[in-house]
Chain A
Amino acid sequence: MSQARSSPARTAAAHAILIVYTLIALFPVLIVVMNSFKSRKAIFRSPLSPPSAETFDLVGYQTVLAQGNFPLYFQNSVVVTVVALAIVLVFGAMAAFALAEYRFRGNALMGLYLALGIMIPIRLGTVAILEMMVASGLVNTLTALVLVYSAQGLPLAIFILTEFTRQISDDLKNAGRIDGLSEYRIFFRLVLPLLRPPMATVAVFTMIPIWNDLWFPLILAPAEATKTVTLGAQLFLGQFVTNWNAVLAALSLAILPVMILYLIFSRQLIRGITSGAVK
C-alpha cells in the first residue's frame, strides 16, 4: 500500500481486528490438537493448558492406531473426497461451459434447474436416496458416497463457474474454432486453464463438507470396509463412556489431509477470490 494512504494507527487497528478474528477461528482447532497430546486426567483437570512434560501423553494416538482400522478409514475418506471432487470440477465446468457458451432452447431453464440444488438441502432426499442405493445394490460401497457427494457439489460449482465462463473472451474461443480445434479441445485447452482460479475456490467449498460429513457415511456406507474417518471417530464416542483421548487424536489426524489439499488449492483460491476485487 502507498505511504500516502496508510497511517500506523489504522494499520494497527486493522491488524488487531484480524488477529482477534484469527484467534477466535483457530481456538477450537487449537484446543482439539493440544488436548489430543494430553493424558485423560489432564484433559479434564485443565482443558485450556498446553501439554507439559508431566501431562504429555500419546495414549490417544496409540489407541487410534491400535484399535479400529484407521488407515483404511483415511483411505476411504481420501478416495471419496478426491473422486467426488474431480467429478464435480470436471462436469461442473463442462456444464458451465455449455450454459455460458451455447444458445439453445431452455438454456435459462436448464441453468435454473441445475442451480436449484443450492437451495434444496440434499439431506431432505435421504430416504429416497437410500431406497435407490438399496435397489441398485450400492449400499456399503464408496461409489454410493461419491455419487451423492457429486450431486451435492455440482449445483454450486455450476453456478459459480458459469459466471466465470461468461467472462472468458469469445474471440479466443472463436480463434480456436477458425484454427479447427474441436469444442472439446477448446474447452480443455483454452477455457479450462483460464478457469483455474474459480475452480480452486469451488474445490475448497466442495471438499470440506464432503470430508466432514457424518450423515451419508452413517446411512449409506456404515460397513467396516467403507467407513470414513468422521464415522470411524464415532467408535470412541459411547453412550456412557467416551474415550476422549482417542476422539481428539482421531480428529487431529483428520485435519491433516484437508490441510494438504487446501495448501494445494490455496494459491489459486486467493487469486480466484481477489481477481474480481483487485484487477
Chain B
Amino acid sequence: MDALKLEKIRKSFGQVEVLKGIDLQVADGEFVVFVGPSGCGKSTLLRIIAGLEDATAGEVAIAGARVNAVPPAKRGIAMVFQTYALYPHLSVRDNMGLGLKQSGAPAAEIARRIEIASTMLSLEPYLARRPAELSGGQRQRVAIGRAVVREPKLFLFDEPLSNLDAALRVNTRLEIAQLHKRLSATMIYVTHDQVEAMTLADRIVVLNAGRVEQIGAPMELYNNPANEFVAGFIGSPKMNFIDGARLGETARTVGVRPEHLAVDRDKGDWKGTVMHAEHLGADTNLYIDTEKAGLLTARIFGEFRAEPGETIFATPDPARTCRFDAEGRTLR
C-alpha cells in the first residue's frame, strides 16, 4: 500500500495557479525529497499534504485513506518547520507532549514516548527548559522530537535546515538520515538545496513552476536528466549549455557537466582562455572562454595551477554529454 498518493493536485490562489496537476506515489518507508527553485510550489504541495491548505482539485490519500476533508491533527502526520515553530510558553517536555495530550493519550504513554524521543535526539538535559533558552540546533532537534513523539504515518519536513549555520546543517542532516533508518518511517522533505536532496533522498521530485519535471533516484537524475531544467538544477557547479548549432549538432542544446570536461594545456577539442580560477582545495573550478563553445565552467579534481589569460583546451566526455531538443527534452 502507498504511504502517500497524490492524484492530479491543483492549487490556485485567486487567478494564479501554483500547482498544475501533481501525481505522486510514495511507498512505505521511502524518503522523498521535493526540490525546486523558490516559488515552484513545493512548500504549497507539502502544506496540502499536511492539510494546512486545501487543494483546489485532486485527491490526497495517506496510507490508503482519502484525507481531503480530514483536519491536519487527524491525518497521522507530523511536521517540522523551517522556523522551528516551538511553543514559546511551554517547556521542551510540554512542547513534545502537547499533540498527544490534545489527542487524549494517557499521561504514562506520553511520558514513555517523550523519554524515547529525547534519548534518541539526546535532549534529556533540556527537557525542563523553554525554547528561548536553547540554541538554534537544539531547537530544531526539539522540533524533530515533537514530530517523533507523535509516531506519525508520515513525517513532513519544510526546509528544516535552512535556518541553521553550515556546520550544524551537516550534523542535523546526518541526524535526519539516521532517524529515517532507525524509524523506517515514510518521510517527505522539502528543500531548495540540492545537496540535501542528493544526500538524503531515496527519490527526488524535481518541481518547476507548479509541475513535476522528473521523479527519480538521485543518481538517475544526475546521469539521465529528463530535460534541460533538471540537468541544470541538479549538479554544482551548474551544467554548461552550448548552442547545438555552434558545434554543428542537430540538437538545439548540448549539455556538459563541468566535471565531465577534461582540461589540457596542449591539446583538446575546444581551445580557449582562462577567465577566472577558483581554488577550493579538493577541486578547482575554471571559467574558460572557448572560441567554439563560448564561456564554460570546468571542474578539475585536486589542485590545478592556472592563471587568467592562459590558453587552455577543454574536451567533453562524449559518453556523458546530454542533448536537448527545442522544447528542452532530452534526446536519447
Contacts and interface: CB of A to CB of B under 8 A. Distances in A.
A171 B82 CA distance: 8
Interface string B62-85: 000000000111100111011111
B312 to A, nearest CB: 49
Interface string A182-211: 000000011001100000000000000000
Given A171-B81, A174-B52, A179 B88 contact: no
A174 B85 contact: yes
Contacts of B99: 178-180
Interface string A161-181: 000000001011011111111
Contact of A177 (B72, B83, B88): B72
The interface centre, meaning the residue of B74, B79, B82, B146 with most chain A CB atoms within 10 A of its CB, is: B79
A172 B52 CA distance: 12
A174 B87 CA distance: 11
B121 interface: no
B73 A177 contact: yes
Given A174-B50, A174-B52, A174-B79, A179 B85 contact: no
Contact of B102 (A171, A181, A190): A181
Contacts of A181: 98, 102
Contact of A172 (B47, B87, B103, B146): B87
The interface centre, meaning the residue of A169, A178, A179, A189 with most chain B CB atoms within 10 A of its CB, is: A178
Contacts of A189: 87, 89
A190 B79 CA distance: 17
Contacts of B103: 180
Contact of B85 (A171, A180, A193): A171
Contacts of B85: 169, 171-172, 174-175
Contacts of A193: 88-89
Given A180-B73, A180-B103, A175 B81 contact: yes
A228 B99 CA distance: 49
A179 B89 contact: no
Contacts of B83: 169, 171-172
Nearest to A180: B73
A181 to B, nearest CB: 6
B73 A178 contact: yes
Interface string B39-55: 00000000100111000
Contacts of B74: 180
A216 to B, nearest CB: 39
Contact of A178 (B72, B82, B86, B87): B72
A180 B81 contact: no
The interface centre, meaning the residue of A169, A175, A190, A193 with most chain B CB atoms within 10 A of its CB, is: A175
Given A169-B85, A172-B87, A179 B52 contact: no
B73 A179 contact: yes
Nearest to A175: B85
Contact of B50 (A169, A172, A178): A178
B233 to A, nearest CB: 26
Contacts of B52: 174, 177-178
Nearest to A169: B83
Contacts of B73: 177-180
Nearest to B100: A179
B89 A175 contact: no
Given A178-B50, A180-B102, A190 B87 contact: yes
Nearest to A182: B102
A176 B82 CA distance: 15
A169 B83 CA distance: 8
Interface string A13-40: 0000000000000000000000000000
A175 B71 CA distance: 13
B77 A178 contact: yes
Interface string A138-179: 000000000000000000000000000000010110111111
A197 to B, nearest CB: 14
22 contacts: A169-B83, A171-B82, A171-B84, A172-B85, A172-B87, A174-B52, A174-B72, A174-B81, A174-B85, A175-B85, A175-B86, A176-B87, A177-B51, A177-B72, A177-B73, A178-B50, A178-B79, A179-B98, A180-B99, A189-B87, A189-B89, A193-B88
Given A171-B81, A178-B99, A194-B88, 5 more contacts: A171-B85, A174-B52, A175-B81, A180-B74, A189-B87
